[in-house]
Structure 1
Amino acid sequence: MSGKNDRQAALRLYLAVGCGAAIGSLTRFLADFVIISLLGLSALYATAFVNIVGSWIIMFFATLTRPDGRLMVGSVGRQFVTGGFCGGLTTFSAMSLDTFILLFEGDLSLAATYLVSAVLLSLASAWLGYAMAIRINR
């Protein structure tokens, strides 16, 4: 009987991650649409935005749901948000592509500014998510 329960638990985990990733990817697509098509900004802003927001979400949620956190969430719920939603939302590969396109176009200063800014702002956002969640956990 344990084998069947293990398979069902694994299936729930896979479905949670897959559903979270689908929702995160759709959210990224919609953010891109709003930032690029409606606001008329560069795709660089769209990629940086989802990475910065995703960094905040993952750290905030992970901090709130850690063993001493305020929210008791099981492994399936944690993976839905962290591995699924945040994995689908954020896009390091797109940031890498954007940076290389700028390099290929000969804009070394914008490529460097974009890459350093996106990484530093993502880290700052993760720190802010952590700090906010720690205050809630108290």
Structure 2
Amino acid sequence: MTPLLVVLGAAVGAPLRLLATRVAGRGGRDPAPGTLVVNIAGSALLGLLLGLDDVPAGLAALVGTGFCGALTTFSTFGADVVRLRAEGTLGRSLAYVAGTLVLGIGAAAAGYLVAGGL
């Protein structure tokens, strides 16, 4: 049953990630902001889920592993960093890395605290 819940969550998270990236990249603009937004949102939601007491295993699989796992994307983040660097924007690529780490971890911590964790 757990693998099915992961698949169901991913079936919703992955298209949302694609939509965010396409909206951010419309008109030839950089898709990196879309990747940043989904990574922060997914981190916040996962932090919220982890901060709750006694989360059923099925819900953790559906939302945590499936939805958040498919919504957030380390591989696209990595590709964005490489592309930004290849375009000659060292400062922007470093700011993107730092911003993603700080905002993602901050969002996860905030979600955790909102849920009553710690």
Q: TM-score, normalised by structure 1?
A: 0.78
Residue of structure 1 in register with 2:90 after alignment? 108
Q: Tell me how far 1:13 sits from its aligned partner.
A: 0.6
Residue of structure 1 in register with 2:8 after alignment? 19
Q: Distance in 2 between matches of 1:103 and 1:32?
A: 19
1:70-109 correspondence to structure 2 within 5 Å: 73-109=55-91
Q: Distance in 2 between matches of 1:51 and 1:74?
A: 24
Aligned AA for 2:24?
A: I
Residue of structure 2 in register with 1:6 after alignment? none
Q: Distance in 2 between matches of 1:126 and 1:120?
A: 10
Matched, 1:56 2:44: yes
Q: Distance in 1 between matches of 2:48 and 2:56?
A: 16
Q: Distance in 2 between matches of 1:29 and 1:48?
A: 12
Aligned AA for 2:63?
A: V
Q: Note the alpha carbon deviations across 1:7-35, whole angstroms, 9 max, x for none.
A: xxxxx111000111111001112222333
Selected match of 1:43 from 31, 37, 45: 31
Larger Rg, first or second structure (1 or 2): 1
For structure 1, list consecutive stretches of 5 or more residues without a partner in the other structure.
Answer: 1-11, 68-72
Any idea what SS the aligned residue of 1:113 has? Answer: helix
Q: TM-score, normalised by structure 2?
A: 0.90
Q: Distance in 1 between matches of 2:22 and 2:87?
A: 24
Q: Distance in 2 between matches of 1:30 and 1:36?
A: 10
